[in-house]
Every structure is written in structure tokens, then in C-alpha cells.
Amino acid sequence: MHLHVEKGRPMLHTRFCDRFGIEHPIVNAPKGDCWAAARLAPAVFADGGLGLIGGQAAEVWPDQADWLRAEIRAVRERTARPFGVGFCPALPAGLRTRQGGYRTSSR
């Protein structure tokens, strides 16, 4: 990890940056279609970070695979840089607490 100066400001550069070929150790969260779809990932790339798209969209179920393929194609049309797809699997109902949160173990 080291700091370098860009536009008169110190900027953090890490091994993560080198490994993913990005300028800044910034990654957007893959929060589903309406927050981190194919529109957001290329914008994050343009500013030097790593873009991710959300891998699921509740409103298009059961056409999920077709939707995701279209999102991946849209990102590839906008950038040649690497990107990621994130998934948030549903937790079993038994892990949900009465307060609406989730337990960390199934005991």
C-alpha cells in the first residue's frame, strides 16, 4: 500500500488496485438491478474503481437468466475492463429473528 499524489491530493493505491487493474481501491456494492445494474458499473470504472452489477432482479423472476445475460452484455458494450457480478442468496426462514434481523448461526 502506498500513497501517491494526484491533482494535488494524496491517493491510496493498494495491491488490490494492481490485481484488478484499477486506480483507486473503490468497489461498488452489487445491490441488485435498480441500484447496481449495467448503468452503474461502467461509471465506477470511468472514475478508477471496480464496477459490480447485482446478479438478481426480483421483478423479472422467472426470467432471471435472460435479464442477467442482457445486463452483462450491456456492461461489455460500455467497457472492456473486468467487472463482477454479485449475488445475495436468500437465507432460510429459520434464521430470521423476531425483530426482522438474521442470526449468525443456526443453533
74 lies in some domain: yes
Q: How many domains does the chain have?
A: 1
7 lies in some domain: no
C-alpha distances in Å from residue 49, one per residue of 9, 20, 21, 66, 73 = 17, 9, 9, 27, 20
Confidence of residue 100 (pLDDT cuts 50, 70, 90): low
pLDDT digits (tens, 9 = 90+) for 36-68: 678 888 888 888 899 988 877 666 666 778 888
Provide the residue range defining the domain that includes 67. Answer: 26-88
Confidence of residue 103 (pLDDT cuts 50, 70, 90): low
> What pLDDT does residue 73 have?
94
> What pLDDT does residue 82 have?
83
58 lies in some domain: yes
